[in-house]
A and B are shown apart, each in its own frame.
Chain A
């Protein structure tokens, strides 16, 4: 480590303008690695070291930021100067004219029981070669891959009134994919659509059985080639957790983001059918629906102690007994509305400013077993693993697709179907929630896009199997 790096915290503190109404330096170092084996060939390994700092300055009702990868004293001074200039330029033109931001002190480190560094590169290659091979046991598998992606993220938030939040987060993304083809019919099967990811070390691989999953994935991809198209009609629908993750994300998470409700995203990600007056009374779902913002789940993707504005994070019910309770709004959105919220002001990295995001957003488990949910279906489909997602800009009219469906007849699973899709309207879909299982699978979505400038962020979702009644279900082209 060079002298510049050793003294970085002191230099960041020295650069902060003491007389600003609020000023912060948010330094982020993200080290990543990717390893993939595709069709028996080890793809080029890659590593990444992304590092920089964002200064935010609030003065006289104006606010600005400047982010730079130039960590020299001159670079830091230039960034503070730029952020201050933006604050001056926006005074009197800003949507928000005072800062509610805190000067918090604390830290967080991802719990790791089996550090990934103990798995050598050679061991990782061997693991992926074995998994890739197991994916391709059938002649109709035309493409396959097994991969491991890791991120170690260190962030340090310093403020001009003594705030200091240090967090270290370790994330692991294991993935498997098998592609089967016959003529004009191509089918993909994956390891939970990449959603079986989380914080931790090697133990992330064992949570969902990565080492043993490959053969089954390959077999199911081939089975889908032979399967009939998903039936069309209005019927009961059971969603597996790896489809629920997407359903929660798109039709609960995004609509409850307070910055969308306030209109910030109307030019890009969209608005929301939810309005401020609905909180506390609106029947979002049936009384079986309980949704939490929970940054305390060990090993879940977006567990943390503070958001990127330095707001302490705690478990909060967003929907309780089906009634809408609390929006996904960070400290700034809370100040803009006078509403309670959560610590969800997050940035994708040092080069983007925090905005309201999802973190860990979970549907709490119910009391039925999965067998009981299935037995309660006269005719319907169980869908597994998201493959397609589309929803309107108010987060209401949606259409989602899954990799694999299982038709349920007279309370029993009868056969596999391909290209299962369903469509609905968020405002009524969740009210048709007719069963919640007692299982609880902790997952992630690694590609949530939002914001101007654009940001991709990694979020956590956990869910049981859930059953919905009266859903419009259909298949693909014949």
Chain B
């Protein structure tokens, strides 16, 4: 089912369902679907390859302030899907009759329709297999190629229609030298260019040369460190876990709690926003609210704004800015700084070049104290020259240090990272981040 076909299908199904509403009922519908190819590699050979085609419609059936939500997979067979939607609506009415009124119910009544198409051209996947195998040469490549079309749609019985479709590819790989010594890279975008992919793979192979040196085993302690955009992304993911959610702030569960209780600040060079206009995510959410082009979250080191879902808006008496229920950013962007990216090894001088961080979690959430591991492409640097890879180290430090009083600066360019996550479905999230140079980062194991 092509994007346009899926869009028409949603429209027709919601029109059909809307004609079966009774009294003052309002129906909200959200469609999520994809046609994706996945090819998994190990030792530069195919481990698993396949295609996934899926569509799920989620309904919210409302009567006054009472409502119930449900979802069902769509088959593409009109009669069967109508049967499933009718069955779901019947079940929702039964549940709604039992449930009390919902004081936090809020849905879009603006009937503001929209369309966002991020169209690209992925290669035929079998050709991608050949290109990856050829580009990897005799390297030990492990990774995933994911490509195809994703779409999200909103439609309600009030006549509002919103559509998002993206055609993209994401080749995410690592090249391995021995044990855990590996480099990590990705080639993602909308238009597949075999030459660009080959160049990126060639760069990965050259990075392997440095990994061949005898690794340094560093004792725990504080080290000057450069966090690449990919490494900083892991820190940002932790901040995103409740850091900007209005609900998390009001219930004191935010890891940025000290910013609201003690006036703690990050370095003035740190400005963070939810940049929908610059990302590749839908510009509407499941209850039909549009997302603004940009929401300032941290402005020059100070907390600036929240992500507000419709429920939180109703609960706390503020306006929603189109966040989904989880109030996570979907297109987070950090403004670049003034450190020359091309000279970052010289700026680092002697210390750790951290290519990637891994498996972060809070060791003290209220203090935004976070632990995690170094992983791919992490090196010991002396006098601006890479000396050797390191054996993995565990850090345990707070963002108030790493992006606060110990931040030397941010690089003058920001890198766009398309999220390669494929839990349940291919992600449409992205990040745009610079690298960060830190005077001292605390390592514990």
Contacts and interface: CB of A to CB of B under 8 A. Distances in A.
A353 interface: yes
A142 B172 contact: no
B42 A48 contact: no
Given A82-B51, A186-B253, A267 B102 contact: no
Interface residues on A, range: 35 or more
Contacts of A69: 53-56, 73-76
Contacts of A41: 102-104
Contacts of B76: 69-70, 72, 75
A262 B42 contact: yes
A90 B51 contact: no
B415 to A, nearest CB: 19
A399 B371 contact: yes
A45 interface: yes
Interface residues on B, range: 35 or more
A44 B47 contact: no
Given A266-B142, A399-B394, A423 B182 contact: no
B68 A44 contact: yes
B364 interface: yes
Interface in B60-84: 60, 67-77, 79-80, 83-84
A71 interface: yes
Contact of B366 (A43, A68, A79, A184): A184
Contacts of B251: 142-143, 179, 181
B126 to A, nearest CB: 4
B49 A47 contact: no
B367 A476 contact: yes
Contacts of A48: 70-72
A344 interface: no
Contact of A65 (B48, B60, B70): B48
Interface stretch (A168-176, A281-289, A448-456): A448-456
A455 B174 contact: no
B218 to A, nearest CB: 13
A456 B423 contact: yes
B444 interface: yes
A28 to B, nearest CB: 10
Contacts of A122: 98
A163 B375 CA distance: 43
A49 B88 contact: yes
A409 interface: no
A392 B363 CA distance: 15
Interface in B141-194: 142-144, 146, 172-174, 176, 179-180, 182, 184
A453 B74 contact: no
A196 interface: no
Given A67-B53, A455-B423, A394 B261 contact: no
B196 interface: no
Contacts, number: 276
B371 A390 contact: yes
A2 B38 contact: no
B254 to A, nearest CB: 9
Contacts of B257: 184, 186
B54 to A, nearest CB: 5
Contacts of B144: 267-268, 452-453
B306 interface: no
Contacts of B363: 388, 399, 401, 419, 421, 476
Contact of B75 (A72, A83, A391): A72
Nearest to A182: B252
Contacts of B1: 70
Nearest to A472: B445
Contacts of A54: 50
A89 B364 contact: no
Contacts of A72: 75-77, 80
A48 B88 CA distance: 9
A93 B39 CA distance: 12
A52 interface: yes
B129 interface: yes
Contacts of B350: none
Nearest to B182: A266
A47 B85 CA distance: 12
A63 interface: yes
B219 to A, nearest CB: 14
Output the residue of B126, B360, B424 with the most chain A CB within 10 A. Answer: B424
Nearest to B78: A72
15 contacts: A44-B68, A47-B92, A49-B88, A70-B1, A75-B76, A90-B46, A143-B252, A188-B253, A263-B43, A394-B180, A401-B361, A453-B146, A475-B364, A476-B367, A477-B366
